[in-house]
Amino acid sequence: MLKKISNIFKRNAKQAPNEPNTLHSGQHTLSAKKISSGARKVVEQLTDGGYEAYLVGGCVRDLMMGLKPKDFDVATNATPEQVKELFRRSRIVGRRFQIVHVRMGPEVIEVTTFRAHHNTKNSTKNGAKDNAKKSHRDKSQRSAKGMLLRDNIFGSIDEDASRRDFTMNAFYYHPHDNSVYDYANGLPDIENRLIRIIGNPEERYREDPVRMLRALRFAAKLGFNLEENTAHAITKTHKLLADIPPARLFDEILKLFMHGHALATFHLLRQYKLFDVLFPATAAALSKDPGYYLKFIEQALTNTDIRIRSNKRVTPAFLYAALLWPAVKETEQLFSQQGDSPVYVLQQAAGEVTTRQCQRIAIPRRFTLPMREIWELQLRLPRRAGNQAFRLMENKRFRAGYDFLLLREETGEIESGLGLWWTNFQDAGDEKRQEMVKKVQQPRNASRNKNRRRKKTAKPKPSTSPETSRHD
């Protein structure tokens, strides 16, 4: 799809280093018609307001490759306040990285002000007034390890290009002149299917460790390879991911596993040891029993990919239930003592795993609660006698619990049979269902909550930090 055009751009000696390669109309496959009307209007209105404005990032990258963009992002030299003034239905969001969400009909367009480098010139001088210091802290702040805690220093388009993550993400498109501006020499990389971080890889990952996740997400989604230095630096910086605020990681994890290439992403995350940082308990279970647990997660992610690609709904609760199941199974072994009911042991293990995981990734309570219900249903689904099967079918999480059961059977954790029974039960009419229930033998450990008393003996100490409820 992409034309072989990079040799048009052999930079001539006179070209200034910060001048872009330009693809004029006819040299690329983009056209204003392929841009959403909302994004076009935003660019138009900014331009009419006397500002520079371009389509930028993934939308230009995807259109150059003949793919359908997920969303449309706009970059401008207008400050967030100026953008907000221009658009009635807009709001400034974010503190670390301030942007403006502009509403255009059903669309929300992200408008980003050109960013510049954070250098000594930009930093607050000693002796500056307190107010100046505070306002500067909102613009530029770094942690001791080099992470940018505030990234709001504004600049010009060429500076902005060098602040973006990968060369393939630094194309700027202007619908008026139908030209693509390539400031970071991204064209040859797209042609060679390479993900190359802009600037010094280690430094750029230190500034924002989420860039490591983004590199792997794009590699999985586009089928690209990581350029050598871009890949190698991850081996030095992967642990920094633990410093990212858990709420931001929650959003990033969903992007990683909900774009239709979850299985490929999972393999890359394991290869670069990022999975160990994100899901330490599951990673430990995987190294203990790579056979079954690996098969289980791979199957869960394969199913997720199939669902997403056929536009079916996937709930984060199910995804996390699967990703954390190996950790729950391992933790159950620590908690189980003779006499405790399986339900009690599962609840203890589930609580422990959830609390610990939420310290790293802030899974909102609206997902951890159904996730735990899916786990608990695994012990309830075998109990079908009397009215139990009918009642279970009315449970809000029945379908997810049943799918989870099928997954466990499919990957050999438990014997097949129960899943098929439930499949038939759902398909059967009322009379047949009654017949099926009559034939059911209650499982031996079904007496509810037998021996549920707490024991004060040597149980592992549950972690104390509360589960997050940020999104509640």
Report the C-alpha gap between 210 and 205 in whole angstroms. 7
71 is catalytic: yes
Q: Which is nearer to ligand ATP, 102 or 285 (CB)?
A: 102
Q: Which is nearer to ligand ATP, 78 or 170 (CB)?
A: 170
Q: Which is nearer to ligand ATP, 164 or 206 (CB)?
A: 164
**Residue at shortest CB range from ligand ATP:** 58
Q: If you write DSSP's letter for every residue of 260-307 in order, what string do you get?
A: S-HHHHHHHHHHTTHHHHH-HHHHHHHHH-HHHHHHHHHHHHHHHHHH
Q: Which is nearer to Mg ion, 61 or 356 (CB)?
A: 61
**Residue at shortest CB range from Mg ion:** 58
Catalytic site residue from 62, 165, 189, 208:
165
Report the C-alpha gap between 329 and 281 in whole angstroms. 11
Query: Which residues contribute to the site for Mg ion (CB under 5 A)?
Result: 58, 71
**What is the DSSP code (8-state) at residue 129?**
-
Q: Of 169, 265, 304, 468, which one interacts with ligand ATP (CB under 6 A)?
A: 169
Cα 128 to its chain centre, rounded Å, is 40
CB of 192 to ligand ATP, least distance (A): 18
Report the C-alpha gap between 164 and 185 in whole angstroms. 13
Are 275 and 269 in contact by the 8 Å Cβ rule? The answer is yes
Phi, psi at residue 196, to the nearest 5°? -125, 120
Burial of 48: CB neighbours in 10 Å, binned 0-12, 13-18, 19+: exposed
Kindly indicate which of the ranges 70-78, 186-194, 339-347, 431-439 contains the residues binding ligand ATP, using the contact rule CB under 6 A: 70-78
CB of 138 to ligand ATP, least distance (A): 19
Q: Residue 155: name the closest of 169, 177, 140 by CA.
A: 140
Report the C-alpha gap between 1 and 186 in whole angstroms. 16
Kindly indicate which of the ranges 8-16, 66-74, 375-383, 388-396 contains the residues binding ligand ATP, using the contact rule CB under 6 A: 66-74
Tell whether residue 113 is a contact of ligand ATP (CB under 6 A): no
73 is catalytic: yes
Are 24 and 131 in contact by the 8 Å Cβ rule? The answer is no
Partner touching 208 among ligand ATP, Mg ion, none, CB below 5 to 8 Å by kind? ligand ATP
Partner touching 186 among ligand ATP, Mg ion, none, CB below 5 to 8 Å by kind? none
Q: If you write DSSP's letter for every residue of 175-216 in order, what string do you get?
A: TTTTEEEESS--HHHHHTTEE-BSS-HHHHHHH-THHHHHHH
Burial of 66: CB neighbours in 10 Å, binned 0-12, 13-18, 19+: exposed
Q: Of 63, 86, 90, 165, which one interacts with ligand ATP (CB under 6 A)?
A: 165
Tell whether residue 57 is a contact of ligand ATP (CB under 6 A): yes
Tell whether residue 71 is a contact of ligand ATP (CB under 6 A): yes
Tell whether residue 189 is a contact of ligand ATP (CB under 6 A): no
CB of 210 to ligand ATP, least distance (A): 5
CB of 311 to Mg ion, least distance (A): 20
Q: Which is nearer to ligand ATP, 258 or 385 (CB)?
A: 258
Which residues inside 197-226 make contact with ligand ATP, applying CB under 6 A? 208, 210-211
Partner touching 316 among Mg ion, ligand ATP, none, CB below 5 to 8 Å by kind? none
Tell whether residue 73 is a contact of ligand ATP (CB under 6 A): yes
Q: Which is nearer to ligand ATP, 55 or 407 (CB)?
A: 55
Element (H, E) at 90: strand 90-93
Partner touching 164 among ligand ATP, Mg ion, none, CB below 5 to 8 Å by kind? ligand ATP
Q: What angle do CA 337, 340, 346 make, to 5 degrees?
A: 90
Q: Which is nearer to Mg ion, 115 or 360 (CB)?
A: 115
Q: Of 28, 40, 164, 397, which one interacts with ligand ATP (CB under 6 A)?
A: 164
Q: If you write DSSP's letter for every residue of 306-335 in order, what string do you get?
A: HHHHTT----HHHHHHHHHHHHHHHHHHHH
Catalytic site residue from 73, 151, 182, 305:
73
Count the site residues for ligand ATP by CB under 6 A. Answer: 12
Residue 468's contacts (CB-CB under 8 Å, 6 or more residues apart) are 246, 247, 358, 362, 363, 364, 365
Report the C-alpha gap between 254 and 252 in whole angstroms. 5
CB of 214 to ligand ATP, least distance (A): 6
Are 164 and 170 in contact by the 8 Å Cβ rule? The answer is yes
Can you read off the two tokens belonging to residue 204? 């750029």
CB of 51 to ligand ATP, least distance (A): 18
Q: What angle do CA 285, 422, 262 make, to 5 degrees?
A: 40
CB of 267 to ligand ATP, least distance (A): 19
CB of 57 to Mg ion, least distance (A): 5
CB of 227 to ligand ATP, least distance (A): 16
Q: Which is nearer to ligand ATP, 169 or 411 (CB)?
A: 169
Q: Which is nearer to ligand ATP, 63 or 324 (CB)?
A: 63
By annotation, the residues acting in catalysis are 71, 73, 165
- Contact residues toward ligand ATP (CB under 6 A) are 57-58, 70-71, 73, 164-165, 169-170, 208, 210-211
